[in-house]
Structure 1
Amino acid sequence: MAAKTKVICFANNKGGSGKSTTCSNVGYGLTQLGRKVLLIDGDMQLNLSLSLFDEDTVLRFAQGDKNLYEGIRRQDDLKDYIVHTAYENLDLIPSSTLMSSIEYELFTKWQREYILKKGIAGIVDSGEYDYILIDAPPTLGGWVMNILCASNEVIIPVEASPWGLFGLGNMFEFLDQVKQIAPDLGLGGIVITKVDTRKNYFRQTLESLKELDDVKVFDTYIRVDSGVEWSQDNNVPVMAYKKSSRSAKEYMELTKEIDSAK
């Protein structure tokens, strides 16, 4: 009997929340726990792809015919769009800058909310991966609805800043709408990112989130760390770049929290 594949998306309609960084590092961290992981870059900004491959390679993926945009446009089985990364048990379906027009592509399709779910159905059913992690763009619309409908749960990274909670209410309202057609979608939790414990923003953010009913806030939070920026500059997850860094240790603890809930 094949193992059950868990599909988790990282979403927030506010940009700069650390979605791509969290997705890539949790993905890498899960492989360190012995899991096999597929990452899906659902954002035209290509940041998830850039966290694993150099810019020239990412652009080659984006301009070719083996990226997520082409797979969705053709409504193909997305297993044919998987590329292997330099890391054992960590694979990727890369994105394309053409994802900016994905809403138009979806508009013309029948049962458009489920195209991504159908595209990964064969991968999920095979049980080849323990996890599929999807990086969603910072928008609310048909494409993000596709991502949510394809997922078992959503994790929302929230930046500890004055505007970090801005728009979170809209995100929750959107999730309620999605649950009308995907009632099994769960909220995995909220992870607080870009934390500077010397500032009041973190305490204010944490207190505001703790007041929300039936919303899990992960115990692990991710502090501001130059190691993250250096790892991004070198196109590698921070845990692979500098395992001893503070952020690498925090992402590993977050990964363990997420994995323990499977």
Structure 2
Amino acid sequence: MDINQLPAECLSCILAFTSPKDACRSAVVSPAFRSAADSDALWTTFLPSDYRQIISQASSSSTSSFLNSLSKKALYLRLSDHLLFIGSGNSGFVLEKGSGKKCYMIGARDLEIVWGSSPAYWTWQSIPTSRFSEVAELQYVWWLEIKGKIEGRNLSPKTKYAAYFVFKLVEDNFCRHVFETTPVSLEVHFEGAEVEEDRRKRVILDPLEGSSVVCVERSDGWMEVEMGEFFNECGDDGSIIFHLMQIDRLRKGGLIVEGVEIRPKYE
């Protein structure tokens, strides 16, 4: 039997066992495959099961209405190509394009920053390269501590994730040199779980030339460093905490915080 003679519904069911990328490629096989590859039935299987709830959390009602008007394929591509600002607009959601896994970016305003409300220590400003309306710039502190969390149910189940601290350093801040010599402590863990010492990372945010570099420059011009990883088993395991700390008696400054990104990690 010629597979092209199968009803579009059957072809959609077959393509649902592939990936979004493979489904797009199959559209060039024949008109029958093109119809199946573009169908709402297929792309609904690639979207998160709670995509309607995610869209309803959009920071703009007009954005929510626009997304609901799209075909399921167009919606998938939109959510994978553009950050969807949710809640008050200080955090965002995006789909990993190749897999459909859920990713989140938690902006600085939605993080718990010690002394973050004091203009003497931290200032809030707009930077054109940031995805968010405001970022936090450290003027100076002795106690540097930033904490955030995300609910496991908001992420894709059966998925290994990592949290990444996204930042910049100000060139002309006289306290910046601390980040060249003194590591910050980074950790990621489930809320209530005891953190093992070997799960904590100690990282130089501004390594000197020739040092072992773990901070990388992103395509958007920001820097990122992995804070830690975790496996989201069922998606209902409670909250995942991510934590940055440097509390020695050294005065530090010149750090600009955009936020923390949570995305799937592959070996």
More helix by share: 1
Greater relative contact order (Cα 8 A, min sep 6): structure 1 or 2? Answer: 1
TM-score higher than 0.5 here?
no
TM-score, length-scaled by structure 1: 0.25
TM-score, structure 2 as length reference: 0.24
Query: Which has the larger Rg?
Result: 2
